[in-house]
Chain A
């Protein structure tokens, strides 16, 4: 094992492979910052470019791109309120609030530090225990996935920012929105009103662009207050060693959670970041401050979504089952280059596998430097007056929504949901529960359906299996925890007053 590790290191420092890593990092950051293209799309675009490379260099490029895209997406989430990737959807909540408070530099620094730590942690896990972890992940069935989605959704009760009911209504509507289109189990159309364009359903990436990006531009255009004031003296402040130590448990938890979620086939960075944000709030000493712009709200999702990159590579390399949409494209690229992922890969091409591990580790370090440069360039652009920035952000929204499926229907959908987001925010309905509902709703629905079909409509199956049972109990407790806590605090206060 150690011999292969050193051979992998020797391989990765070959100029062509290093160049591949650097190319992957630059393209990944650009793709991450720009909404709509996405890391999966980015990898797909890069495949033809890797034809002239050897298979190892190609894999180094694509895996580096994947890591860097997860970091780049936080930049647009924090500065523009447009998540470059769905994985940074929850980074928007506290990241943008921090930027509004003049703490954009801190938010960006924390996101980079979290991304690097999360990414490196997951690579170490890849090095150490990839094959056994992959087989554990395969034991997850529909009941476990449903319970996992419920656990993720249970955080909505804490996200109401003083109005839990509005938060839950927002979540219900979010889950409903993504049911529009063809039913995933029986293939029957729902809420399509006979319109063909709606049959494919509402993709949640244009929805996110509309809810966050378009609604923000509409709001800002009403006053034309200069945005550049917000970013005038921004200097990216990476987390210091002292700060990392003071939040070591949050870092560690987000790393572990992100890696585990990443390993589960079909989940990936988006679910990881949502779960990490929820848990960071659940276990925080000051949960009420989440959503107002605090460091933990940026750190947890950004650490987890980068930790998911290494995690998602575990089933991809060991079993040939992609852990996320991006690793599915990487898998296709591997096959194009004549590499057959699976258990054999670790015996027949162990050096190449170790080279990929090292490439991801190098990419995680390189992307920190790359991000600092990219942020400086983006911030220079933000000194342009709001009147010019507004059409630029709107163009990013429109072209980003178009770029997902190369369809103008997605653009219309983003604009319509922009109006919905604007109205909801105007009447103080929190947007985050709606976004959570859109991300976790489809996972919950399809797995609930599958679980009931498999078990012959046994509704207790979710409590009969150990992992799903534990997750369901945790979800129920988490759902009612804010009410129980508030009652307890109120009673304590009353006693003290008496």
Chain B
């Protein structure tokens, strides 16, 4: 068992334990003929996850780590910094959308992802995000009538020009 896997399973146990403790704090009304409080079902699930995770941890503690690669698969060093960067950009995009609006934040988001994916052509970094935003705007806003965030202040006024 890999060290990382052990830490991950311990994290599951701690998380489930914390949630179990939280469940015990929910006041359960005992009405006539009612045994299933709001926390009985989730408690069963959390207890199940804790017991099985402990079992897995004890059973495999000294077991040798398995190779993550399938037979014949070539190893290419994964770039974790890039995937973490993309994830952070996604969270920033979700946050920015409510302030800058869909129309401003989306091309910036696409450009940021392209930059993280080692895209360096300035012309393409300008054209691709605008094209993608236009296509998504057409599908989601015009065709599907999804009320995309407009943002605040001048960004709101800008979005009102389009939808």
A residues engaging B (CB < 8 A)? 30-31, 34, 37, 41, 45, 165-166, 168-169, 172-173, 175-176, 179, 183, 185-186, 188-191, 193, 214, 217-219, 221-225, 386-388, 390-392, 394-395, 398-399, 402-403, 406, 408, 411-412, 415, 418-419, 422-423, 427, 441, 444-445, 448-449, 452-453, 456-457
Cα–Cα, bound, A449→B8 (Å): 33
Contact assessment for A390 and B83 in the assembled complex, using a CB-CB cutoff below 8 Å: no
B residues engaging A (CB < 8 A)? 2, 4-5, 8-9, 12, 16, 19, 22-23, 26-27, 29, 33-39, 41-42, 45-46, 48-49, 52-53, 55-56, 76, 78-80, 82-83, 86-87, 90-91, 93-94, 97-98, 106, 109-110, 113-114, 116-119, 128, 132, 136, 139-140, 143-149
Q: Provided the pairs A221-B83, A222-B79, A408-B149 are in contact, do residues A415 and B12 lie with their beta carbons within 8 angstroms? A: no
Q: Provided the pairs A391-B114, A398-B93 are in contact, do residues A169 and B144 lie with their beta carbons within 8 angstroms? A: no
Contact assessment for A34 and B23 in the assembled complex, using a CB-CB cutoff below 8 Å: no
Residue of A nearest to B146 (CB): A403
A169's partner among B12, B34, B97 (CB-CB below 8 A) is: B12
Contact assessment for A387 and B117 in the assembled complex, using a CB-CB cutoff below 8 Å: yes
Contact assessment for B8 and A423 in the assembled complex, using a CB-CB cutoff below 8 Å: yes
Residue of B nearest to A397 (CB): B90
Cα–Cα, bound, A183→B23 (Å): 12
Residue of B nearest to A223 (CB): B76
Q: Provided the pairs A190-B42, A391-B132, A419-B87 are in contact, do residues A224 and B117 lie with their beta carbons within 8 angstroms? A: yes
Q: How far is the CB of A254 from chain B (nearest CB, A)?
A: 29
Residue of A nearest to B106 (CB): A395
Contact assessment for A165 and B55 in the assembled complex, using a CB-CB cutoff below 8 Å: yes
Q: Provided the pairs A173-B49, A427-B8 are in contact, do residues A34 and B33 lie with their beta carbons within 8 angstroms? A: no
Contact assessment for B145 and A214 in the assembled complex, using a CB-CB cutoff below 8 Å: no
Cα–Cα, bound, A396→B22 (Å): 35
- Consensus secondary structure, chain A interface: helix
A34's partner among B49, B90, B97, B144 (CB-CB below 8 A) is: B144
Can you list the 10 inter-chain pairs with the closest CB atoms, starting with the nearest? A183-B38, A222-B78, A391-B113, A387-B117, A172-B49, A179-B42, A176-B45, A172-B48, A411-B94, A449-B36
Task: Name the A residues within 8 Å of B106 (CB-CB).
Answer: 395
Contact assessment for A190 and B26 in the assembled complex, using a CB-CB cutoff below 8 Å: yes
Contact assessment for B76 and A37 in the assembled complex, using a CB-CB cutoff below 8 Å: no
A-B contact pairs, 27 of them (CB 8 A): A31-B144, A34-B144, A37-B144, A37-B146, A169-B12, A169-B53, A175-B45, A176-B16, A186-B37, A190-B26, A190-B42, A219-B83, A221-B82, A221-B117, A223-B76, A224-B118, A387-B117, A387-B119, A398-B93, A402-B146, A403-B146, A406-B147, A415-B87, A427-B5, A449-B36, A453-B36, A457-B33
A448's partner among B36, B45, B56, B143 (CB-CB below 8 A) is: B36
Cα–Cα, bound, A422→B94 (Å): 19
Q: Provided the pairs A395-B132, A398-B93 are in contact, do residues A191 and B19 lie with their beta carbons within 8 angstroms? A: yes
Q: Provided the pairs A190-B26, A394-B86, A403-B140 are in contact, do residues A168 and B33 lie with their beta carbons within 8 angstroms? A: no
Q: How far is the CB of A317 from chain B (nearest CB, A)?
A: 27
Cα–Cα, bound, A191→B148 (Å): 29
Contact assessment for A408 and B97 in the assembled complex, using a CB-CB cutoff below 8 Å: yes
Q: Provided the pairs A165-B56, A186-B38, A445-B41 are in contact, do residues A399 and B146 lie with their beta carbons within 8 angstroms? A: yes
Q: Provided the pairs A218-B87, A419-B87 are in contact, do residues A390 and B117 lie with their beta carbons within 8 angstroms? A: yes
Task: Name the B residues within 8 Å of A398 (CB-CB).
Answer: 90, 93-94
Q: Provided the pairs A37-B144, A191-B19, A218-B86 are in contact, do residues A179 and B56 lie with their beta carbons within 8 angstroms? A: no
Cα–Cα, bound, A420→B134 (Å): 31
Cα–Cα, bound, A30→B143 (Å): 10
Task: Name the B residues within 8 Å of A392 (CB-CB).
Answer: 132
Contact assessment for A45 and B144 in the assembled complex, using a CB-CB cutoff below 8 Å: yes
Cα–Cα, bound, A423→B83 (Å): 12
Residue of B nearest to A44 (CB): B145
Contact assessment for B34 and A391 in the assembled complex, using a CB-CB cutoff below 8 Å: no
Contact assessment for A188 and B46 in the assembled complex, using a CB-CB cutoff below 8 Å: no
Contact assessment for A415 and B23 in the assembled complex, using a CB-CB cutoff below 8 Å: no
Q: How far is the CB of A250 from chain B (nearest CB, A)?
A: 28
Contact assessment for A453 and B33 in the assembled complex, using a CB-CB cutoff below 8 Å: yes
Contact assessment for A34 and B139 in the assembled complex, using a CB-CB cutoff below 8 Å: yes
Task: Name the A residues within 8 Å of B42 (CB-CB).
Answer: 176, 179, 190-191
Q: Provided the pairs A176-B46, A387-B119, A418-B87 are in contact, do residues A222 and B94 lie with their beta carbons within 8 angstroms? A: no
Residue of B nearest to A217 (CB): B86
Task: Name the A residues within 8 Å of B118 (CB-CB).
Answer: 224, 387
Q: How far is the CB of A66 from chain B (nearest CB, A)?
A: 16
Could you list 9 further interchain pairs (A-B, Cβ under 8 angstroms) beyond the known A169-B49, A406-B146, A412-B91? A37-B144, A175-B45, A189-B26, A190-B39, A388-B128, A390-B113, A427-B5, A452-B36, A456-B33
Cα–Cα, bound, A188→B147 (Å): 31
Q: How far is the CB of A438 from chain B (nearest CB, A)?
A: 12
